[in-house]
Amino acid sequence: MITYEYPFNERVRTYLRLEQLFDRVFSLIEDTEVIEHHFALTTMFEIMDVGARADLKSDVMKDLERQKQTLIGYRGNPAIEPDALEQLIERMQLCFDGLNAIAGRAGQALTEIDWLMAVRSRAAIPGGTCEFDLPAYFAWKHLPATRRQQDLRNWIHTLRPLAASIRLLLNLLRQSGTPQKVSVVGGQYQQSLQQGRTSQLVRVALDREAELIPEISGNRLVLSIRLLRLGEDARLHASGQDATLEITLCA
Protein backbone atom coordinates (compact mmCIF):
# COMPACT_ATOMS: atom_id res chain seq x y z
CA MET A 1 0.00 0.00 0.00
CA ILE A 2 1.05 3.58 -0.70
CA THR A 3 -0.25 6.19 1.74
CA TYR A 4 -0.82 9.77 0.61
CA GLU A 5 -1.47 12.52 3.15
CA TYR A 6 -3.38 15.74 2.59
CA PRO A 7 -3.49 18.50 5.25
CA PHE A 8 -6.62 20.59 5.77
CA ASN A 9 -4.84 23.61 7.27
CA GLU A 10 -1.61 25.53 6.85
CA ARG A 11 -0.19 24.53 10.24
CA VAL A 12 -0.32 20.80 9.51
CA ARG A 13 0.99 21.48 5.99
CA THR A 14 4.06 23.13 7.54
CA TYR A 15 4.52 20.24 9.98
CA LEU A 16 4.46 17.70 7.13
CA ARG A 17 7.01 19.68 5.14
CA LEU A 18 9.32 19.90 8.13
CA GLU A 19 8.93 16.21 8.92
CA GLN A 20 10.00 15.32 5.39
CA LEU A 21 13.00 17.67 5.58
CA PHE A 22 14.10 16.36 8.99
CA ASP A 23 13.83 12.74 7.83
CA ARG A 24 15.97 13.59 4.82
CA VAL A 25 18.67 15.51 6.68
CA PHE A 26 19.08 12.88 9.41
CA SER A 27 19.40 10.17 6.76
CA LEU A 28 21.93 12.16 4.71
CA ILE A 29 24.12 12.92 7.74
CA GLU A 30 24.59 9.21 8.43
CA ASP A 31 26.11 8.72 4.97
CA THR A 32 29.83 9.28 4.44
CA GLU A 33 29.87 10.61 0.87
CA VAL A 34 30.69 14.27 0.22
CA ILE A 35 27.69 14.75 -2.07
CA GLU A 36 25.33 13.45 0.64
CA HIS A 37 26.78 15.91 3.15
CA HIS A 38 26.35 18.73 0.64
CA PHE A 39 22.66 17.91 0.33
CA ALA A 40 22.42 17.53 4.12
CA LEU A 41 23.55 21.16 4.37
CA THR A 42 21.13 22.41 1.71
CA THR A 43 18.30 20.51 3.42
CA MET A 44 19.23 22.12 6.73
CA PHE A 45 18.99 25.52 5.01
CA GLU A 46 15.50 24.58 3.79
CA ILE A 47 14.52 23.74 7.37
CA MET A 48 15.82 27.13 8.48
CA ASP A 49 13.75 28.84 5.78
CA VAL A 50 10.58 27.10 6.95
CA GLY A 51 11.47 27.59 10.62
CA ALA A 52 12.04 31.31 10.15
CA ARG A 53 8.30 31.88 10.39
CA ALA A 54 7.82 33.95 13.52
CA ASP A 55 4.90 32.00 14.97
CA LEU A 56 6.11 28.46 14.18
CA LYS A 57 7.72 27.72 17.55
CA SER A 58 4.76 29.27 19.35
CA ASP A 59 2.29 27.15 17.34
CA VAL A 60 4.18 23.94 18.10
CA MET A 61 4.37 24.75 21.82
CA LYS A 62 0.64 25.55 21.93
CA ASP A 63 -0.15 22.24 20.23
CA LEU A 64 2.07 20.35 22.67
CA GLU A 65 0.40 22.01 25.66
CA ARG A 66 -3.09 21.38 24.25
CA GLN A 67 -2.31 17.71 23.64
CA LYS A 68 -0.78 17.36 27.10
CA GLN A 69 -3.91 18.75 28.78
CA THR A 70 -6.06 16.36 26.72
CA LEU A 71 -3.92 13.42 27.84
CA ILE A 72 -4.01 14.53 31.47
CA GLY A 73 -7.81 14.31 31.22
CA TYR A 74 -7.46 10.57 30.56
CA ARG A 75 -5.86 9.92 33.95
CA GLY A 76 -7.95 7.48 35.91
CA ASN A 77 -9.66 6.13 32.79
CA PRO A 78 -9.74 2.32 33.21
CA ALA A 79 -9.47 1.86 29.42
CA ILE A 80 -6.08 3.63 29.35
CA GLU A 81 -2.85 1.94 30.44
CA PRO A 82 -1.52 4.39 33.10
CA ASP A 83 2.22 3.82 32.61
CA ALA A 84 2.02 4.36 28.85
CA LEU A 85 -0.07 7.50 29.42
CA GLU A 86 2.42 8.97 31.89
CA GLN A 87 5.33 8.20 29.56
CA LEU A 88 3.58 10.04 26.73
CA ILE A 89 2.80 13.04 28.95
CA GLU A 90 6.43 13.13 30.11
CA ARG A 91 7.66 12.92 26.51
CA MET A 92 5.39 15.79 25.56
CA GLN A 93 6.70 17.88 28.44
CA LEU A 94 10.31 17.17 27.41
CA CYS A 95 9.53 18.36 23.88
CA PHE A 96 7.89 21.50 25.26
CA ASP A 97 10.85 22.24 27.53
CA GLY A 98 13.33 21.61 24.72
CA LEU A 99 11.57 24.09 22.45
CA ASN A 100 11.17 26.61 25.26
CA ALA A 101 14.93 26.51 25.86
CA ILE A 102 15.66 27.64 22.30
CA ALA A 103 16.34 31.37 22.13
CA GLY A 104 14.47 33.10 19.32
CA ARG A 105 13.16 31.33 16.24
CA ALA A 106 14.05 27.79 15.25
CA GLY A 107 17.50 27.78 13.66
CA GLN A 108 18.32 31.33 14.75
CA ALA A 109 21.54 30.18 16.46
CA LEU A 110 22.83 28.91 13.12
CA THR A 111 22.47 32.35 11.52
CA GLU A 112 25.26 33.54 13.82
CA ILE A 113 27.78 31.17 12.19
CA ASP A 114 29.24 33.35 9.43
CA TRP A 115 30.87 30.46 7.53
CA LEU A 116 27.59 28.57 7.41
CA MET A 117 25.66 31.63 6.26
CA ALA A 118 28.19 32.22 3.48
CA VAL A 119 27.52 28.70 2.20
CA ARG A 120 23.77 29.26 2.55
CA SER A 121 23.82 32.44 0.46
CA ARG A 122 25.85 30.81 -2.33
CA ALA A 123 23.84 27.55 -2.24
CA ALA A 124 20.78 29.49 -3.38
CA ILE A 125 22.62 30.26 -6.66
CA PRO A 126 22.75 27.44 -9.26
CA GLY A 127 26.31 26.11 -9.14
CA GLY A 128 27.18 28.75 -6.57
CA THR A 129 29.23 26.51 -4.27
CA CYS A 130 32.15 25.92 -6.65
CA GLU A 131 35.67 26.09 -5.18
CA PHE A 132 36.37 29.49 -6.76
CA ASP A 133 33.30 30.91 -5.00
CA LEU A 134 33.72 29.15 -1.65
CA PRO A 135 37.27 27.85 -1.17
CA ALA A 136 36.65 27.32 2.57
CA TYR A 137 33.65 25.13 1.79
CA PHE A 138 35.68 23.24 -0.81
CA ALA A 139 38.31 22.56 1.87
CA TRP A 140 35.60 21.41 4.33
CA LYS A 141 34.40 18.85 1.81
CA HIS A 142 37.89 17.34 1.81
CA LEU A 143 37.88 16.77 5.57
CA PRO A 144 37.47 13.17 6.83
CA ALA A 145 33.86 11.96 6.72
CA THR A 146 33.73 11.59 10.51
CA ARG A 147 34.70 15.24 10.94
CA ARG A 148 32.05 16.41 8.49
CA GLN A 149 29.44 14.25 10.21
CA GLN A 150 30.33 15.73 13.59
CA ASP A 151 30.01 19.26 12.22
CA LEU A 152 26.63 18.45 10.70
CA ARG A 153 25.40 16.85 13.93
CA ASN A 154 26.52 19.91 15.91
CA TRP A 155 24.67 22.25 13.56
CA ILE A 156 21.46 20.22 13.39
CA HIS A 157 21.46 19.75 17.18
CA THR A 158 19.81 23.17 17.68
CA LEU A 159 16.91 22.00 15.51
CA ARG A 160 16.37 18.60 17.15
CA PRO A 161 13.78 19.83 19.70
CA LEU A 162 11.64 21.08 16.81
CA ALA A 163 12.08 17.78 14.94
CA ALA A 164 11.09 15.71 17.99
CA SER A 165 8.06 17.90 18.72
CA ILE A 166 6.71 17.78 15.17
CA ARG A 167 7.23 14.02 14.93
CA LEU A 168 5.32 13.50 18.19
CA LEU A 169 2.44 15.78 17.19
CA LEU A 170 2.06 14.18 13.77
CA ASN A 171 2.18 10.66 15.22
CA LEU A 172 -0.61 11.55 17.64
CA LEU A 173 -2.63 13.14 14.82
CA ARG A 174 -2.25 10.06 12.60
CA GLN A 175 -3.32 7.76 15.43
CA SER A 176 -6.48 9.80 16.06
CA GLY A 177 -8.23 8.46 12.97
CA THR A 178 -9.87 5.13 12.17
CA PRO A 179 -9.23 3.67 8.70
CA GLN A 180 -12.28 2.91 6.56
CA LYS A 181 -12.39 1.17 3.19
CA VAL A 182 -14.38 2.91 0.48
CA SER A 183 -15.20 2.08 -3.13
CA VAL A 184 -14.36 4.52 -5.89
CA VAL A 185 -16.61 4.29 -8.93
CA GLY A 186 -15.42 5.67 -12.24
CA GLY A 187 -12.29 7.16 -10.72
CA GLN A 188 -14.18 9.79 -8.66
CA TYR A 189 -14.96 9.85 -4.93
CA GLN A 190 -16.55 12.48 -2.72
CA GLN A 191 -17.39 12.39 0.98
CA SER A 192 -19.14 14.91 3.21
CA LEU A 193 -17.23 15.52 6.42
CA GLN A 194 -18.83 15.18 9.82
CA GLN A 195 -20.05 18.47 11.24
CA GLY A 196 -18.63 19.42 14.63
CA ARG A 197 -15.48 17.37 14.11
CA THR A 198 -12.79 19.32 12.30
CA SER A 199 -10.43 17.01 10.48
CA GLN A 200 -6.85 18.26 10.15
CA LEU A 201 -5.42 15.53 7.94
CA VAL A 202 -6.64 12.81 5.63
CA ARG A 203 -4.61 9.71 4.81
CA VAL A 204 -5.44 7.84 1.60
CA ALA A 205 -3.93 4.38 1.08
CA LEU A 206 -4.19 2.37 -2.11
CA ASP A 207 -2.62 -0.73 -3.59
CA ARG A 208 0.68 0.13 -5.30
CA GLU A 209 0.01 -2.50 -7.96
CA ALA A 210 -2.99 -0.49 -9.18
CA GLU A 211 -0.56 2.21 -10.36
CA LEU A 212 -3.11 4.90 -9.55
CA ILE A 213 -2.36 8.37 -8.17
CA PRO A 214 -4.97 10.13 -5.99
CA GLU A 215 -5.52 13.84 -6.57
CA ILE A 216 -6.89 14.96 -3.20
CA SER A 217 -8.70 18.19 -2.39
CA GLY A 218 -10.92 19.20 0.46
CA ASN A 219 -12.02 21.61 3.15
CA ARG A 220 -13.92 21.42 6.42
CA LEU A 221 -17.09 20.35 4.60
CA VAL A 222 -16.14 17.88 1.89
CA LEU A 223 -13.36 15.58 0.73
CA SER A 224 -12.84 14.88 -2.98
CA ILE A 225 -10.51 12.35 -4.60
CA ARG A 226 -9.87 11.93 -8.32
CA LEU A 227 -7.81 8.97 -9.48
CA LEU A 228 -5.12 9.60 -12.09
CA ARG A 229 -2.72 7.43 -14.04
CA LEU A 230 0.67 8.28 -15.52
CA GLY A 231 0.47 7.71 -19.26
CA GLU A 232 3.13 6.69 -21.74
CA ASP A 233 3.40 10.36 -22.73
CA ALA A 234 4.66 11.11 -19.16
CA ARG A 235 1.47 13.05 -18.41
CA LEU A 236 -1.23 12.43 -15.81
CA HIS A 237 -4.59 11.34 -17.17
CA ALA A 238 -7.90 10.78 -15.42
CA SER A 239 -8.56 7.13 -14.69
CA GLY A 240 -12.14 5.96 -15.04
CA GLN A 241 -11.62 2.59 -13.38
CA ASP A 242 -13.16 1.44 -10.12
CA ALA A 243 -10.89 1.00 -7.12
CA THR A 244 -10.84 0.47 -3.35
CA LEU A 245 -9.21 3.03 -1.09
CA GLU A 246 -8.52 3.12 2.64
CA ILE A 247 -9.30 6.58 4.02
CA THR A 248 -8.37 7.82 7.48
CA LEU A 249 -9.68 11.18 8.70
CA CYS A 250 -7.48 12.50 11.50
CA ALA A 251 -8.61 15.20 13.91
Q: pLDDT tens digit string along 5-39?
A: 999 999 999 999 999 999 999 999 999 999 999 99
Q: pLDDT tens digit string along 208-240?
A: 988 899 999 988 789 999 999 998 898 999 988
25 contacts 37 by C-beta, under 8 angstroms: no
Q: What does DSSP assign to residue 185? A: B
3-state secondary structure 187-215: CEEEEECCCCCCCCEEEEEECHHHCCEEE
Split at pLDDT 50, 70, 90, the class of 142 is very high
Please determine, for residue 55, whether its predicted confidence score (pLDDT) is greater than 90: no
190 contacts 223 by C-beta, under 8 angstroms: yes
Q: pLDDT tens digit string along 68-115?
A: 999 999 888 888 899 999 999 999 999 999 999 988 888 888 999 999
Q: What is the mean pLDDT of residues 155-159?
A: 94
Q: What is the mean pLDDT of residues 148-156?
A: 96
User: What is the average pLDDT value for the chain, to the nearest integer?
Assistant: 93
Q: What does DSSP assign to residue 186? A: T
Weakest-pLDDT range from 29-43, 54-68, 190-204? 190-204
Split at pLDDT 50, 70, 90, the class of 163 is very high
Name, in order, each residue with C-beta under 8 angstroms of 20's C-beta and a sequence gap of 6 or more: none
Q: For the whole model, what pTM was predicted?
A: 0.92
The H-or-E segment that residue 105 falls in is: none
The reported pLDDT for the residue numbered 78 is 87
Cβ-count burial 72-108 (b if 16+ within 10 Å, e if not) = eeeeeeeeeeeeebeebbeebeebbebbeebeebbbe
The reported pLDDT for the residue numbered 106 is 81
The reported pLDDT for the residue numbered 80 is 86
Give which of 129, 107, 104 is closest to 118, Cα–Cα: 129
Give which of 141, 178, 180, 126 is closest to 41, Cα–Cα: 141
Q: What is the mean pLDDT of residues 104-129?
A: 91
The reported pLDDT for the residue numbered 221 is 85
